[in-house]
């Protein structure tokens, strides 16, 4: 009998657990809505992930191709720049050496012209000669610099935007 009472009690408890009250229409609609949102979110996340991975597989080779092209063009530009700088240096070296030699000659002439005044210790005359000679030296230096700039014009006018045009004219 005790066993029967326990079995009856147990079956009533299980019946209460299995028995669910019917849901209202509002609860059914709400549950259906949240199920739909969960599925839509999962589907959209999967779609976004698929698009992202497809985009990565398509863009990666293009990116690598552009990086390779950019590196090659940068190397070509570097080689061309080094070549041009070497050419300019080679072409300007004689002018620079000539300018230095001329300046040294003028400084020696200034020393030679000022030597008698230094020996005579006439400060006013020495000052006047030095001022005159320094003005002459300045004028000759300006003339030499202008000549050097005029000689450089062919180098600057033939290649003004050569390096700019490499990347921006394609």
The average pLDDT across 3-19 equals: 52
Give the single-character DSSP code of 21: P
Q: Are 117 and 125 in contact (CB under 8 A)?
A: yes
State yes or no: pLDDT of 166 exceeds 60: no
Residue 16 confidence (pLDDT): 47
Residue 119 domain-assigned (yes or no): yes
Higher pLDDT, 122 or 159: 122
**Gap between the Cα atoms of 80 and 82, Å rounded:** 5
Residue 105 domain-assigned (yes or no): yes
Per-residue confidence at 159, pLDDT binned at 50, 70, 90?
low
**Gap between the Cα atoms of 140 and 107, Å rounded:** 12
The full DSSP string for 23-59 is: PPHHHHHHHHHHHHHHHHHHHHHHHHHHHHHHHHHHH
Residues 6+ apart with CB under 8 A from 40: none
Share of the chain above pLDDT 90, in %: 8
Residue 21 domain-assigned (yes or no): no
Domain count, the chain: 1
Residue 7 confidence (pLDDT): 53
Give the single-character DSSP code of 80: H
Residue 3 domain-assigned (yes or no): no
State yes or no: pLDDT of 15 exceeds 60: no
Residue 73 domain-assigned (yes or no): yes
Residue 27 domain-assigned (yes or no): no
Note down the domain range covering 158: 39-168
Residue 125 domain-assigned (yes or no): yes
**Gap between the Cα atoms of 23 and 28, Å rounded:** 6
Residue 18 domain-assigned (yes or no): no
Residue where the block lists tokens 């230096």: 141
Residue 158 confidence (pLDDT): 56
pLDDT of 59-118, one tens digit each?
A: 788 888 888 998 999 999 999 999 998 988 888 888 888 888 888 898 888 888 878 777
Residue 24 confidence (pLDDT): 78
pTM attached to this predicted model: 0.38
**Gap between the Cα atoms of 117 and 126, Å rounded:** 5
pLDDT of 113-152, one tens digit each?
A: 878 777 777 778 778 888 888 888 888 888 888 887 887 7
């Amino acid at each position: 009998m005790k066993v029967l009472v326990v079995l009856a009690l147990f079956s009533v408890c299980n019946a209460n657990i299995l028995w669910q009250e019917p849901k209202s229409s509002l609860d059914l609609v709400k549950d259906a809505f949240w199920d739909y949102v969960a599925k839509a979110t999962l589907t959209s996340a999967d779609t976004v992930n698929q698009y992202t991975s497809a985009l990565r597989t398509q863009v990666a080779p293009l990116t690598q191709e552009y990086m390779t092209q950019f590196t090659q063009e940068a190397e070509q530009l570097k080689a061309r720049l080094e070549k041009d700088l070497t050419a300019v240096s080679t072409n300007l070296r004689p002018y620079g050496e000539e300018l230095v030699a001329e300046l040294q000659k003028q400084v020696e002439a200034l020393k030679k012209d000022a030597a008698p005044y230094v020996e005579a210790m006439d400060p006013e005359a020495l000052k006047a000669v030095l001022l005159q000679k320094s003005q002459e030296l300045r004028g000759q230096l300006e003339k030499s610099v202008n000549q050097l700039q005029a000689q450089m014009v062919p180098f600057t006018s033939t290649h003004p935007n050569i390096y700019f045009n490499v990347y921006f004219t394609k």
